[in-house]
Amino acid sequence: MQFVNGVFEGFAEFFTGESQRDEDIAHAEKLKRPLLDYSVESLKLVDEYLKFLFDNRPQRMGRDWVNTILWGGAYVGEVIRRNAPRQYDWVDFDGWISEHPEQVQLLGSTKALEVCAFLTPGQGAFTLPLNKVHKFIANGPEDSVRFYVACEIREQ
């Protein structure tokens, strides 16, 4: 299976502001980017930012909101990769489903933003950081990314 680690490392850098693009995340001024250091503790700042987005989400979300889910999920995933005692790799939905067709029951048969890529530690296991960011924006603090990551890296 082909990993897409480099792509998602780059997306995480867009989220932190280490790299720049012509487009950005929703309400970028509300995220304390200089303090994002890929630590589990830095996810408190991400939770605060996502709480603001949850409280201020529009009826219709534009490209900046898509970037928030994609780049924010990449950052959350990179925190897992850099802090977990085991190795995780980013995989693309299509490549994963072609090797694990039985998981269509869990992931669906259509590539959606929140599951377009995810992390695997191998042996058919996976975790969905983009989906977690999406769920926080939809449901609020009950979907804390800090709690999610703390549980994920502890679950070895």
Q: pLDDT tens digit string along 31-48?
A: 999 999 999 999 999 999
What is the band of 156 on the pLDDT scale with cuts at 50, 70, 90? low
Mean pLDDT of the residues in the chain = 96
Mean pLDDT within 16-20: 96
pLDDT at 146 over 90: yes
Place of tokens 């792509």: 7
pLDDT at 105 over 90: yes
29 vs 155, higher pLDDT: 29
Instruction: List strands edge to edge, sheet with 117-122.
Output: 89-92, 117-122, 125-127
